[in-house]
Amino acid sequence: MDRRGPLCVGIDPHASLLADWGLDDTVEGLERFSRTVVEAVADRVAVLKPQSAFFERFGARGVAVLERTVREAREAGALVVMDAKRGDIGSTMAAYAEAFLHRDAPLRSDALTVSPYLGYGSLRSAVETAREHGAGLFVLALTSNPEGAEVQHATGPDGRAVGAAVLAHLAAENAGERPLGSFGAVVGATLGDLSRYDLDVNGPLLAPGIGAQGATPADLPRVFGAQIRQVVPNVSRGLLRHGPDVGALRGAATRFAKEIAAAVARP
């Protein structure tokens, strides 16, 4: 982030966006879209975040496109966060972690989004796999979708909000790591004042919601406070709508990166 600016670009090739780009809702359209995004920004933004579901819906050929997207993005120097939001128990969670985090896996990514809502302990095998293979996790904690509040703001048996308990677990995972640990939280940029939550997990905070969901870079200091420099703001539709022109995508990425850098006071 210091070298390239604190920006994560989502790769979300849903049908309506393919249509906006003049592409067919086919594997060929999917591949054209994904390769254009990688060509435009993978050598200049810090993080790319492909949404696995939009590739999986095309079956094996779509997953093959996802494999190439991940490989080419990493070869261009970007970190890749696989947005798959996996959450399960035991050997199933271990298999998900191996699929996305094992250093020899075709879909090997730098980090994976996971859900802790079968209990944080259900993620233990994913944490262990990430540590073993030099990868990380982004754990859903306080998400930008309105429905999340009924679970994440609910009070657990210990009197803490469920989202606060998730943050505390992540702080424990990252204890003593410098400059940051590899176990981050997903915290929506649209949520407003979060001062009642301790966001200092000593790890990155992936912040969706900028652009189409209504948040702006200027909102980040108010939401994240003292942890602003740990934030990895995510922009998807707000940037992708500038395609399919490569130059327009690059220009949009540059503008977002500069606005975010100014908001979080990065040089």
Catalytic residues: 85
Give 222: exposed, middle or buried? Use CB within 10 Å, 0-12, 13-18, 19+. Answer: middle
Tell me which residue of 139, 85, 75, 141 sits closest to 108, measured CA to CA: 75
What are the two backbone dihedrals, phi and then psi, of residue 105, each rounded to the nearest 5 degrees?
-75, 140
Tell me which residue of 205, 166, 160, 161 sits closest to 182, measured CA to CA: 205
